[in-house]
Structure 1
Amino acid sequence: MSSETSIFANRQAPGISRRRFLALSAGALAGVCAGSYASGIRLPSPRADKTAMDAARFHALRRYTQTAFGRIAHVEQGSGPAALFLHGFPLNGFQWRGALDRLAAYRRCIAPDYLGLGYTEVADGQSCAPQAQVAMLVALLDALGVEHADVVANDSGGAIAQLLLAHHPERVRSLLLTNCDTELDCPPPALLPVIALAKQGRFVDDWLGKWRHDHVLARSAAGIGGMCYADPADPTDEAIETYFAPLLASQRSRDCAHAYATALEHNSLSGIGPALARSRVPVRIVWGDADTIFSANNADYLARAFGHSLGVRRLKDSKLFWPEERPDVIAEEAHRLWTTQGDKA
């Protein structure tokens, strides 16, 4: 994951017209929405459970739901209207442990592991591409009796969330997006070395295996810590184990993780613009400005792309996986978004 993403600034994805690009650049509506959203709203403070979710509790809470796509691993907390938390790559639902603790008082919080990542057991011959992830999520929601959900997403999970909204708008009640792909930046240039290694069947062992063996390296500038976390103490020892152990468990788990990464080579968001513009689902973007993977331009692009954008909040000195490090911000923004749309929980 190279830190050089500046070449994005002048890059335009195939199939996106100059007229649409200029129209998005105007951004007047997003500015108005953001202003009204940010002012005059006071919310009760989200609460954290007395027992914070550590790895042992995460494993104890994990359940599996059988679908045509495989046995989907997921963790749930809380009750009431559903909230769906979509993790980044190469993480799993453990990324959302702090947010789940804080938001379980307001929602039935569901954090699944994707096909090819985490503890989900992928069916034989099953694709791990973004479109398949969306179909899997719909099947999981159906199996869990969830009609629609408030969606919170990060990294490649943000691309999956956009596809879910575009193709199944009735399943998304609201969307809180953090650093992630856009139609113009999918995949980001920084991901290309990972995709190349995955195509060779080497990424899991060459990167994740070395980081699991050497936690100091994992947290260094050359590791996932320096690239994706702001706190030099992150990821923690138990997070490294929880994220990487299931991917290193067998040749099949390696193959599935490589299939996930390889599928990111193609722009899954190409042509999605009109569907996002038509959507009336309220969307809020919160962006870590120190991200070395995705361009800072992505945040404003997303704010202009959605038909019901509630603007952007920027977090200084926060990197790609800031939702794991700053769960209070996720809780604050999620609760604000849910209350803004009329939820009185």
Structure 2
Amino acid sequence: MVDHETWSERQSATTVAVDGHDLEVAYHEDGPGDSDEPPVVFVHGIPTWSFLWRGVVPTIAEDRRTIAPDMVGYGNSAMHDGFDRSIRAQEAMLEALLDDLDVDRVALVAHDIGGGVALRFAAHNPEMVERLVLSNAVCYDSWPVEFVSNLGLPKTAALERDDLEERLDAAFVEGAYGEADPAFVAGMKAPWLTDEGHVSLVRDAVATNTNHTTEIDYGAISAETLLLWGEDDVMQPYEYAERLADELSSAELAPLSEAYHWVPEDRSDAYADRLREFLAGTET
């Protein structure tokens, strides 16, 4: 799998308007440009960025165009102060990015708070979402978790770089099943270990708002949905996947064993294979 430097080098960037702010959005794009199928859009969570999908995108890009943006305030997208980073604002970013890329129909694949973004987008734009895949996604009142809440405390902004890195190490190692790949951990931490990144991470954490998922009309989501969930996760437990399955009009549970919160990394091969089957409509 590629390292984070290579992933960054392969990203493109564009500027979109969100709440009246012109913000740069970095995105990784791959796959055939002439496919008749809608592109597959991957949305990450906190404290990750599009590099989360490094083990999944290459498989899907064999057949389909893929687009994996860094949410604003994350990764290689805009990190300066002065704009909202909530999932409401990220939904607006996603709408603007797809419009900029002239995309009018998608398959959405999302993890963690990216799942909240995807749920909002699918509820508000049902005509645009052909298929929806949610993995250990925030929903209802399942979030924010303690780790993210603590990141948003004022004292976190004053942490020494080594202390912040230690916290991030713990999150990525403890959230993994078994031994975390050092290249994954290093890549996930990299955007936050600058002065601007450090402050941006605190702003991102402060912007977490449970109201933005409790207000969703889940019944308005019409896309065929796969709940591809790491079943051993304690941050976004499997019980929430079961609740979504009960409430969404067309949802299938697909638990992945031996997977904690970072399920696209924990079980990247199994994840990519199951996702590919679902997107092709050939799942068993």
TM-score past 0.5 threshold:
yes
| Cross-structure match for 1:239 | 184
Which whole-Å deviations, capped at 9, do the CAs of 1:268-327 have from their partners, x for residues lacking one? 11132xx32233210010221211212221110011121111x21222231000112222
The amino acid of 1:139's aligned partner reads A
| Cross-structure match for 2:261 | 320
Structure 2 residue runs of 5 or longer lacking an equivalent are none
CA–CA distance in structure 1, aligned partners of residues 164 and 181 of structure 2: 10
CA–CA distance in structure 1, aligned partners of residues 11 and 254 of structure 2: 32
Query: Whose radius of gyration is greater, 1 or 2?
Result: 1
| Cross-structure match for 1:330 | 271
CA RMSD of aligned residues (A): 2.4
| Cross-structure match for 2:148 | 194
2:192 aligned counterpart, secondary structure: coil
CA–CA distance in structure 1, aligned partners of residues 207 and 151 of structure 2: 13
| Cross-structure match for 2:11 | 62
Quickly say closer, same or farther: Cα 1:317–1:330, change in 2 above 3 A.
Answer: closer
Q: How does 1:32-111 map to 2 (within 5 A)?
A: 52-69=1-18, 70-79=23-32, 80=35, 81-111=38-68
* Contact 2:13-2:27 at 8 Å conserved across structures: yes
* Contact 1:198-1:204 at 8 Å conserved across structures: no
1:268 aligned counterpart, secondary structure: helix
Deviates more, 1:320-329 or 1:152-161: 320-329
Q: How does 1:126-145 map to 2 (within 5 A)?
A: 126-145=83-102
Quickly say closer, same or farther: Cα 1:262–1:53, change in 2 above 3 A.
Answer: same
1:253: how far off?
2.8
TM-score, length basis structure 1: 0.73
Quickly say closer, same or farther: Cα 1:266–1:58, change in 2 above 3 A.
Answer: same
Structure 1 residue runs of 5 or longer lacking an equivalent are 1-51
The amino acid of 1:175's aligned partner reads L
| Cross-structure match for 1:286 | 228
Which whole-Å deviations, capped at 9, do the CAs of 1:183-219 have from their partners, x for residues lacking one? 14233xxx2353244131506946x84364x69x92x
% identical equivalent positions:
27
Q: How many residues align?
A: 275
Which whole-Å deviations, capped at 9, do the CAs of 1:135-161 have from their partners, x for residues lacking one? 001111111111121111111111111
Quickly say closer, same or farther: Cα 1:135–1:240, change in 2 above 3 A.
Answer: same
| Cross-structure match for 1:264 | 208
2:109 aligned counterpart, secondary structure: strand
* Contact 1:71-1:123 at 8 Å conserved across structures: no
The amino acid of 1:301's aligned partner reads R
TM-score, length basis structure 2: 0.88
Task: Considering Cα pairs closer than 8 Å and 6+ residues apart, tell me whether 1 or 2 has the greater RCO.
Answer: 1
* Contact 2:24-2:72 at 8 Å conserved across structures: no
Deviates more, 1:167-176 or 1:132-141: 167-176
Give structure 1 regions of 4+ aligned residues with deviation exceeding 3 angstroms: 203-206, 208-212
Deviates more, 1:286-295 or 1:240-249: 240-249
CA–CA distance in structure 1, aligned partners of residues 82 and 250 of structure 2: 38
CA–CA distance in structure 1, aligned partners of residues 105 and 79 of structure 2: 24
* Contact 1:246-1:253 at 8 Å conserved across structures: yes
